[in-house]
Amino acid sequence: GENVEQHPSTLSVQEGDSAVIKCTYSDSASNYFPWYKQELGKRPQLIIDIRSNVGEKKDQRIAVTLNKTAKHFSLHITETQPEDSAVYFCAATGAAGNKLTFGGGTRVLVKP
Amino acid sequence: GAVVSQHPSRVICKSGTSVKIECRSLDFQATTMFWYRQFPKQSLMLMATSNEGSKATYEQGVEKDKFLINHASLTLSTLTVTSAHPEDSSFYICSGGQGSPNEQFFGPGTRLTVL
């Protein structure tokens, strides 16, 4: 089945700096790559997603890039703010098509 | 986006009892529902996938007789943790999908504590 690795597991940045989280996946048939933000005790919230026919997608301060050849995708957050502090998860669909496999998560702390 | 609710949000039970968690899609028909378990400071682990009107497909290592899933309608799926034990204490989250193109909508989660 699909395997998703996520790095780093923790990330501390100064407010205003950029944060980058990287994920790799194993199943070359995967075609959907969402990113979720989860605050303590809350549900995961979709913040951005990308499909395999696109290499990059941007939404205000958040961008995601996808390299299908290398089977990795990354989340970029620019001009970080304290409210960006949370746990971020990447995910990918495997050959099954609608089943998401999650990465291990990255705990992001934005210091004021 | 689409809204998924879960009930209860929090439950504490004694060891050996059974607990039922409901997951409802409020403004869309969820052809597929997913149940996840999340231990503290860990990722979401898929337990099972259920399609309306058919038996759930369980992930490897998940006991189907212990975690009973029913998806009787396009808006309701239930997870029953039978004979719960302290090691079943976790955050259980459901999500609903409408098939392609893959997006899942998550419920708020249920924190189960087994004493």
Q: What is the pLDDT of residues A16-32, one digit of tens each?
A: 999 999 999 999 989 89
> What is the rounded CA–CA span in Å between residue B76 and residue B73?
5
> What is the rounded CA–CA span in Å between residue A94 and residue A2?
5
Interface size, chain A vs chain B, as Cβ–Cβ contacts under 8 Å:
51
CB-based contact A42 B100, cutoff 8 Å: no
- Write down the residue that tokens 């395997």 correspond to: A3
- Cis amide linkage into residue A34, ω under 30° from 0: no
| Chain A residues close to B32, C-beta within 8 Å | 98
B114 or B1, which is more confident: B114
Instruction: Please compute the mean of the pLDDT values over residues B104-114 and round it to a whole number.
Output: 95
What pLDDT is recorded for position A98? 77
> What is the rounded CA–CA span in Å between residue B29 and residue B98?
7
pLDDT per position as a tens digit, A95-112: 666 789 999 999 999 999
Please answer whether residues B77 and B93 qualify as being in contact, where contact means their C-beta atoms are separated by less than 8 angstroms: no
- Most confident stretch, A38-52, A75-89, B29-43: A75-89
Residue B100 has pLDDT above 70, yes or no: no
Six-digit token string for A18: 């950029």
| Chain B residues close to A30, C-beta within 8 Å | none
